[in-house]
Amino acid sequence: MKEKIKHGYSRASPCCVPMNIGSAIEPARLARWACPTDKAGNYKNLKFKQMKKTILLIAIIFSFISCYSQKHKITKSDIIGCWVHSNEECNPDSAFTVYRPCDYKELPPRRFRYKVEFKKGKNCSWLALSPSDKHEMQDGKWKYKAKEQKIEIFDKSGTLVKTFHLIKISKDMMKAKSE
């Protein structure tokens, strides 16, 4: 039995592929390449609609996850303490650097490991290269901009020394982008 063909498509299968109206393809083969229509005669692809719903569902799930992961707002009290750069946990291609508390664990020896200590109030100190070519802690001030999640470190004269854009902070790790 031959199936009725409308506008070069058949109603037998959920895959829309045009075909010759006058072709002599047997109905079983024809059904694999045809597209179903709804009651109004409009062609629809059921697999595409299912895939579209799946993608939408995945997007909604990821948006909820991202909202809940940013639930904790970073405060000054989260930042206060001594932080040391953990070079071993940073990928050279990554956009952020990892800092651990100074007493977190024993890190392997390195020639230089950036260290900063944020104190209560606005005082801080950081490890810097001194004129005598050795590393010494220098004193300065720090400022936290909560809306931007940004820490700015200034030396005693008020010159900006370093900026951190915080990504995530917990009691044993700080992830930040440095400028």
pLDDT at position 142, please?
Answer: 96
Which DSSP string corresponds to 106-121?
PPPP-S---EEEE-ST
* Three-state DSSP class for residue 48: helix
**Closest by Cα among 93, 144, 98, 94 to 119:** 144
Q: In the predicted model, is pLDDT for residue 121 greater than 50?
A: yes
Cα gap 82→174, rounded to integer Å = 11
Find which of 44-53, 114-123, 170-179 is predicted with most confidence, using mean pLDDT. 114-123
CATH number of this structure's domain 76-178: 2.40.128.370
pLDDT at position 14, please?
Answer: 46
Tokens standing for 149? 């999640």
Rounded mean pLDDT, 61-75 = 61
Rounded mean pLDDT, 69-81 = 79
The residue whose two tokens read 């006058």 is 22
* Three-state DSSP class for residue 160: strand
Contact 9, 34 (CB under 8 A): yes
Contact 5, 25 (CB under 8 A): no
pLDDT, greater one: 72 or 74: 74
Beta bridge partners of 56: none
Beta strands, E only, 8-66:
none
Show me where the domains of the chain are located.
1-70, 76-178
Rounded mean pLDDT, 51-58 = 77
Cα gap 18→36, rounded to integer Å = 12
pLDDT at position 13, please?
Answer: 45
Contact 71, 162 (CB under 8 A): no
CA atoms within 13 A on the CB side of 73: 7
Rounded mean pLDDT, 22-46 = 55
Q: What mean pLDDT is reported for the chain?
A: 76
Q: In the predicted model, is pLDDT for residue 31 greater than 60?
A: no
pLDDT at position 63, please?
Answer: 61
Contact 140, 157 (CB under 8 A): no
Cα gap 99→84, rounded to integer Å = 5
